[in-house]
Amino acid sequence: MSPFTVTRTLPADATAAALRADVADGLTSTPKQLPPKWFYDARGSALFEEITRLPEYYPTRAEREILIARAAEIADATGARTLVELGSGSSEKTRHLIRALPDLRVYVPVDVSESALELAGEALLAEHPRLTVHALVADFMNGLALPDDTPGPRLLAFLGGTIGNLLPAERAAFYASVSDLLAPGDALLVGTDLVKDEATLVSAYDDAQGVTAAFNKNVLAVLDRELGADFDPSDFDHVAVWNAEEEWIEMRLRARKDLTAKIPAMDLAVHFEAGEEVRTEVSSKFREEKVRAELAAAGMDARRWWTDAQGRFAVSLAVR
């Protein structure tokens, strides 16, 4: 078998169909909403990379600090021979982990972006020629099946705080499906941003340079390109608010005036009153007890909890 294979479990047109379904639901409901996964076309992914380097956006640096400091402990605790990474993107975060896992034989990056998987796979193989890389083009929210050759113990990594983009019910379903996928003795490594003061959180999602605003508005450019819509991103303001009850940051786009956007591909016209908002992202912030309890509810035992020195972000290791 070639050391690098890519398996597509998403039909080529699944993405287009999913976008239409999300727009049909989300822009006709009250309040309006769109799922955050549609930010990430090539421009959106580049803007997100830029966000990770902003002074205000601490999660990426905090998580990297933890992974570097704890890679050897993670390797010891898991003895992983297979590493599965959900939402792997450029695989930058996992590089430290891969270097630290002495028994690693198979790496399974999972992402909706085939181009990201190919680039990351080639780069990793250049560094680890004996590793088998079996990339999966898949949307892991719609159930996940592992390739045949994934020797245990397996470590499944879901990093970056992306778990925070799921609503509580989706999160429970996600943990349950991960637990189903794992065998006893396999482990889950999950990165969670933590509850902290409101000013720090809001500025992480509303930076001075306006990169997050451009990232947020990019979803409108995606709708324009993919669905022939006529949104003008400059008709909307970027909004980031802390929802203290739910303990999540919400990003929204707020119409600056009354407007009607046409979405010809779907025979849809969407009206916004001046000031009306569409919620584009929820980014939940966590406390240790809640992470533990949610993992336990899915049959996983949170054995380790590591934070960065400033206590801003946590990485948990849970065993099935």
Single residue of 91, 192, 283, 316 touching ligand AVJ by CB under 6 A: 283
Single residue of 18, 51, 71, 291 touching ligand AVJ by CB under 6 A: 51
Strand stretches in 63-197, DSSP E: 82-86, 106-111, 132-137, 154-158, 187-193
CA distance 292 to 303: 9
Alpha helices in 158-308 (DSSP H): 168-181, 198-204, 211-227, 288-297
Single residue of 37, 117, 160, 313 touching ligand AVJ by CB under 6 A: 160
Question: Is residue 59 at the binding interface for ligand AVJ, with CB under 6 A as the rule?
Answer: yes
Pick 104 or 117: Cβ nearer ligand AVJ? 117
Q: In the beta sheet, which residues pair with residue 82?
A: 106, 154
CA distance 198 to 243: 9
Largest CA distance in the chain: 59
> What's the min distance (Å) between Cβ of 59 and ligand AVJ?
6
Between the two ends of the chain, the Cα-to-Cα distance in Å is 30
Single residue of 44, 98, 164, 313 touching ligand AVJ by CB under 6 A: 164
179 labelled ligand-binding: no
Residues in 88-117 at the binding interface with ligand AVJ, rule: CB under 6 A: none
Token pair 């980031």 is found at 240
Structure token digits, residue 135: 């990339």
Contact 156, 74 (CB under 8 A): no
Pick 217 or 320: Cβ nearer ligand AVJ? 217
> What's the min distance (Å) between Cβ of 305 and ligand AVJ?
19
CA distance 24 to 252: 18
Give the number of other Cβ atoms within 10 Å of residue 252's Cβ: 20
CA distance 285 to 204: 12
165 labelled ligand-binding: yes
Question: Is residue 86 at the binding interface for ligand AVJ, with CB under 6 A as the rule?
Answer: no
Question: Is residue 281 at the binding interface for ligand AVJ, with CB under 6 A as the rule?
Answer: yes
> What's the min distance (Å) between Cβ of 314 and ligand AVJ?
13
Closest CA to 112 of 239, 3, 16, 224: 16
Pick 221 or 265: Cβ nearer ligand AVJ? 221
Pick 106 or 282: Cβ nearer ligand AVJ? 282
Pick 315 or 319: Cβ nearer ligand AVJ? 315
Task: Provide the total of helices (H) and of strands (E) in the chain, helices listed first.
Answer: 9, 14
Residue showing the smallest CB distance to ligand AVJ in the complex? 283
> What's the min distance (Å) between Cβ of 58 and ligand AVJ?
10
Known binding residues for S-adenosyl-L-methionine are 87, 93, 111, 139-140
Known binding residues for L-histidine are 57, 165, 205, 281-283
Known binding residues are 57, 87, 93, 111, 139-140, 165, 205, 281-283
Instruction: Report the interface residues with ligand AVJ, using CB under 6 A.
Output: 51, 59, 160-162, 164-165, 205, 212, 281, 283
